[in-house]
């Protein structure tokens, strides 16, 4: 039961290889329609706000966020997201190479739902898809989502 809901997954990652691997994983389970890709925090905010001719992503959605990105880091993105009343309650899972305790604590201080180190994810992202599937299948979202 992969993604039987209408929940979108916004992947925010500057690494083309990781974005492509996640895209392949979604294609494998025939759920590309649930996937939205952003190359960095600024790109993601444009998609979430519907700015610069980007299609607005309507709730419910879950964000998978890398921390180490150019233009706008994951930490800067989280600060901007939490400061925006329309986006502040967004569900975010960090997906990063960083095992730095400061990064971990800073992310949880900004109310992330989870902190996932990329080396803990299998190469085909199957365990990540299983996590997301379980989350969106079991979680209850607000009625306006």
In a domain, 1, yes or no: no
The 10s digit of each residue's pLDDT in 22-57 is 999 888 888 888 899 999 999 999 999 999 888 888
**Spatial contact of 37 and 14, defined as CB atoms under 8 Å apart:** no
Q: In angstroms, rounded to a whole number, what is the distance separating the alpha carbons of residues 25 and 10?
A: 14
pLDDT for 145 equals: 47
Q: Which range marks the domain in which residue 33 is found?
A: 8-138
**Beta-sheet strand order (sheet of 8-12):** 35-38, 8-12, 61-65, 91-96, 114-117
- Does any domain span residue 90? yes
Full-model pTM:
0.91
CATH number of 125's domain: 3.40.50.2300
- The answer, yes or no, to whether residue 144 has pLDDT greater than 70, is no
């Amino acid at each position: 039961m992969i993604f039987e809901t209408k929940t979108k997954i916004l992947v925010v990652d500057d690494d083309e290889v990781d974005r492509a691997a996640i895209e392949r994983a979604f294609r494998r389970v025939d759920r590309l329609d649930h996937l939205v890709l952003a190359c960095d925090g600024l790109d993601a905010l444009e998609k979430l706000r519907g700015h610069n001719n980007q299609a607005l992503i309507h709730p419910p959605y879950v964000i998978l966020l890398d921390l180490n990105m150019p233009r706008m880091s994951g930490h800067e993105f989280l600060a901007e997201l939490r400061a925006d009343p329309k986006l502040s309650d967004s569900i975010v899972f960090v997906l990063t190479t960083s095992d730095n305790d400061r990064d971990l604590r800073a992310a949880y201080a900004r109310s992330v739902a989870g902190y996932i180190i990329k080396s803990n994810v299998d190469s085909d992202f199957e365990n990540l898809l299983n996590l997301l599937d379980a989350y969106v299948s079991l979680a209850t979202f607000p009625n306006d989502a």
